[in-house]
Amino acid sequence: MNLIDALKITGQYCLPKHAISRLVGKLAAAEAGSVTTRLIQLFINHFGIDMSEAVHEDPAHYKTFNAFFTRALKAGLRPVVDDPLLLALPVDGCVSQLGDISQGRIVQAKGHDFSARELLGGDAKLAAPFQGGKFATIYLSPKDYHRIHMPLDGVLESMIYIPGDLFSVNPLTAEHVPNLFARNERVICLFDTEFGPMAQILVGATIVGSIETVWSGTVTPPREGVIKRWTYPAGDQEGSVALLKGQEMGRFKLGSTVINLFAPGKVTLVEALKNLSVTKLGEPLAIST
> What are the CA-CA distances from residue 168 to residues 114, 132, 235 (Å)?
17, 28, 36
Give residue 289's pLDDT. 87
Q: Are 158 and 191 in contact (CB under 8 A)?
A: no
d(CA 69, CA 140): 12
Q: What are phi and psi of 55, to 5 degrees?
A: -60, -45
* Cα–Cα separations (whole angstroms), residue 191 to 75, 129, 280: 26, 12, 22
Catalytic residues: 92, 149, 256
Question: At 6, is the pLDDT very low, low, confident or very high (cuts 50, 70, 90)?
Answer: confident
> What does the pLDDT read at residue 210?
80
Distance CA 286, CA 270 (A): 5
213: closest CA among 202, 204, 222?
A: 202
Closest CA to 22 of 223, 276, 248: 223
Read off the pTM. Answer: 0.92
Q: Residue 59 carries which DSSP code?
A: G
Q: What is the pLDDT of residues 47-57, one digit of tens each?
A: 999 999 999 99
Strands (E), the chain: 86-88, 93-100, 105-109, 112-115, 134-139, 147-149, 154-162, 186-193, 196-203, 210-213, 217-220, 228-231, 242-243, 248-253, 257-262, 267-269, 278-279, 284-288
Q: Over pLDDT 70: what percentage of the chain?
A: 94
**47-100: pLDDT as tens digits:** 999 999 999 999 999 999 999 999 999 999 999 999 999 999 999 999 999 999
pLDDT in tens, 185-237: 999 999 999 999 999 999 988 766 689 999 999 998 877 889 999 999 987 78
Confidence of residue 174 (pLDDT cuts 50, 70, 90): confident
